[in-house]
Amino acid sequence: MSEPTRIPAPDGVAAAAQYAHVVTGTGRFVAVSGQLPLDEHGAPVGVGDPEAQAHRVFENLRRCLAAAGASFDDVVKLTYFVTDMAHMPAIRTARAAHIPDDRLPAASAVQVAALVRPEFLMEIEAFAVVGE
């Protein structure tokens, strides 16, 4: 099985501290919609608590990836949508519980005015490439 190749700092580009600038892979593409901090019954998790929300979102991502025959090892890109950039440390902590530093995907973080419901502090989407 072909593993994604991570390029943390292409020539002439400053090194990334918390992500890889480029990730390539060969295989089947998997797109996971933005996941919210909802439990399996659709109830919000961790209202007002960025750490609890981040851990639940990463658990939902893990379950979605598994349903597609993928894992966090296959993730090539994460996009973080946050209502406050102050929530990024909680997201990094949750991400570290699922993705080791030597497997970091490409990433983007975007602060938004609001998400679909006011109790949500974050939404995270993932793209993965599952080896052939």
Domains of the chain, each with CATH number or no CATH: 18-131 (3.30.1330.40)
Query: Closest Cα to residue 50, out of 85, 98, 97?
Result: 85
Query: Closest Cα to residue 121, out of 131, 111, 107?
Result: 111
Q: What is the pLDDT of residue 2?
A: 67
pLDDT, one tens digit per residue, over 23-58 is 888 899 999 999 999 999 999 999 999 999 999 999
For helices 88-98 and 50-67, give the axis angle rounded to 10 degrees: 40
Q: What is the pLDDT of residue 16?
A: 81
Q: What is the pLDDT of residue 114?
A: 97
Q: How many residues does the chain have?
A: 132
Q: What is the pLDDT of residue 115?
A: 97
Q: What is the pLDDT of residue 109?
A: 98
Taking the chain (132 residues) in runs of 10, the rounded mean pLDDT of each run is 79 87 89 97 97 98 96 96 98 97 95 97 97 76
